[in-house]
């Protein structure tokens, strides 16, 4: 399932289907046996896989998401409801502004997490510190 559609169509069911497909593909489960109420940890998802899922969601939805998303919303139902409500809020806000075009339609070209991870090797320690600083400030 691809989330590359207009944001008005980003519904709970669409996000839920994408997450089920992602779990089936990435963790090797039968799609039909994935229970949306079952926790991500219950499927054996580790922190690297959780971050990969969040990165894939970010790439498909073209939004920044918190790195703790899979822990804050620990199952498919909770995460789908949260993301769908977030897009409802974003869509409502965009209609109220004078520049609704600022809310763009997601790209049809998915960004591969492997490419992003490979790019990390080119960053200096100073670059990494600069990138992580906002998270360190918010944790205080």
**3-state secondary structure at position 75:** strand
Q: Which residues contact 66 (CB under 8 A, 6 or more apart)?
A: 54, 72
Higher pLDDT residue, 114 or 39?
Answer: 39
Alpha carbons 70 and 49: distance in angstroms, whole number = 10
Identify the CATH assignment for 7-108 out of 1.10.3720.10, 3.40.720.10, 1.10.1200.10, 1.10.10.10: 1.10.1200.10
The closest of 85, 67, 73 to 138, measured between CA atoms, is: 67
Alpha carbons 79 and 98: distance in angstroms, whole number = 30
**3-state secondary structure at position 39:** strand
pLDDT band, residue 100 (cuts 50/70/90): very low
Q: Which residues contact 87 (CB under 8 A, 6 or more apart)?
A: 7, 10, 61
What local confidence, expressed as pLDDT, does residue 72 receive? 93
Alpha carbons 112 and 100: distance in angstroms, whole number = 28
Q: What is the pTM of this model?
A: 0.59
What local confidence, expressed as pLDDT, does residue 119 receive? 58
Q: Which residues contact 80 (CB under 8 A, 6 or more apart)?
A: 12, 13, 15, 16, 19, 36
Scanning the structure block, which residue is given the tokens 């839920």? 16
What local confidence, expressed as pLDDT, does residue 118 receive? 54
């Amino acid at each position: 399932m691809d989330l590359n559609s207009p944001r008005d169509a980003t519904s709970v069911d669409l996000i839920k289907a994408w997450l089920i497909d992602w779990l089936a593909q990435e963790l090797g489960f039968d799609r039909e046996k994935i229970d949306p109420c079952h926790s991500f940890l219950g499927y054996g998802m580790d922190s690297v896989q959780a971050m990969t899922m969040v990165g894939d969601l970010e790439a498909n939805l073209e939004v920044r998401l918190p790195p703790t998303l899979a822990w804050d919303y620990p199952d498919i139902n909770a995460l789908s409801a949260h993301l769908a409500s977030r897009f409802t809020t974003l869509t409502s806000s965009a209609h109220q502004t004078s520049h609704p075009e600022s809310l763009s339609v997601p790209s049809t070209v998915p960004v591969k997490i492997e490419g992003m991870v490979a790019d990390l090797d080119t960053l200096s320690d100073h670059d990494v510190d600069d990138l992580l600083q906002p998270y360190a400030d918010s944790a205080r």
